[in-house]
Structure 1
């Protein structure tokens, strides 16, 4: 098993007042040639948006864009005609394909919205843009893996244009869980949302990340109550 660790304090950071954002990989004014991507995972942004504020309409193409709210309500509008609100427990995917415009803003004026925005390189380019959104029962990830993203429409989770599977889990202190990779030559990027965990003798704390590859499985142990996102993606694409 091979690993790469990204401690939370090594991430890129920008505070624009209305937006406080951390970048695990190179993005906007943060550039590190050693932090361009992990396999097909290109962007992992940890965003906090002030009340009533947001990102104006802007374009994307040929990228799989996943939004995972952590708290608050995020309002989305796009050129496909979708006007949606996503909140904690929801997962949203936008396959930008040949091109799409969208905007995102904090629906509430009296509290922040916190969310992850994740970009994945697509399996097929120039597809017709697509949108998908689901609401999940957070209790279904208590001490087990809850699948939230899949490449197949008949599986649990939003459908993505890439051979990628995302899971979330909320573990009680002392619990451990084993992850078995679904595809050979895939890797898994583990991102700790809350708490502390150990993988392969490496201790990870809140907002630390670890890329794992050249293995078929690994065990994640919770040193405290912990919330974790696991993203399995192709290493070669």
Structure 2
């Protein structure tokens, strides 16, 4: 799978959120998308996922425009936004059945994903009854249910306790062995644990895009690199 972002810009009225973004991804890896609050990370992820309209530039998935081929390309992308949009009154299995029906996913695949994200014991409960950690697992389940080639995760461990964070990281790491994962997080340890590459955005522009080893070679850690490029 290849992802190409060419000269992508996005504005909200007079505010420029993204300015001439160019990114190329050619192999399966976990990529950390970093930047301060308001840097444009969520806008970039929403643009790739097809949630926001592309105003300037283009995004290609295997040389296919996601704007011109919206349905086909969206079927190849999984997306977990920062604010996990779940139907709170639905039962867990009922919700995943609904998501599966949109992608023609089999019951066997649903059960496999339920087991993978660790919600077997909760699948007969209503979503609103569950902890935030389990809700994040359900959000992750819906994002990977159709076996997407590209998985986009916006702050997937935000607000979780240490044990839940470790469990979600293990799931993401397993997925990243065979898929491309674009991961936004403010937890630098998470980046160093999971990511092979870092894309750093500041004020709507890419200020650094390099293998994580390059950051380790020049700075004590990713946090020092983050401060250097964004202060």
**Normalised by the shorter chain, which TM-score bucket?**
0.3 to 0.5
TM-score when normalising by structure 2: 0.34
Kindly indicate which of the two structures has a greater share of residues assigned to helix: 2
Kindly indicate which of the two structures has a greater share of residues assigned to strand: 1
Higher relative contact order (CA closer than 8 Å, sequence separation 6+): 2
TM-score when normalising by structure 1: 0.34
